[in-house]
Amino acid sequence: MNTALWITTGLLTAVFLFSGLGKLFVPREKMAAMTDAARWVLDFKPGTLKAIGALEILGAAGLVLPALLGIAPILVPLAAAGLALIMTGAVILRVRRGEPKAALLDGGYLALTAFVAVGRFALEPFTG
């Protein structure tokens, strides 16, 4: 279980770090032009996108750094729970916009973040 949680955590860290950096540094008009699935960014103000991006980066850091450094590892499942809340909002947004494929992908990330949160809170916590 510990190995599965670490692999999932590593994947999620990469995804949220990449996504957060994009929201922070890529202009929303350029991001919206990349794919049809990215047009949702036009529904938000640039400041809101930057806030979401910053939260994703903080969440990505919170998934690994506390455990790797051995400082307050309880922050790992809390970060995963926070990212699960972000992904819950993403799924709701996708459903409202009528984007079922994107909603399924975001739902997958929601399931993975929930798995890490539950796994590190109850199944395989860092502290005994």
pLDDT tens sequence across 39-80: 999 999 999 999 999 999 999 999 999 999 989 999 999 999
For residue range 102-111, list pLDDT tens digits in order.
999 999 999 9
The amino acid present at 60, given as its one-letter code, is: A
pTM of the model: 0.92
Q: Spell out the residues 6+ positions from residue 14 whose beta carbon is closer than 8 angstroms to its own.
A: 60
Alpha helix ranges (H) inside 26-45: 28-34
Residue 66 to residue 73: CA distance in whole angstroms: 5
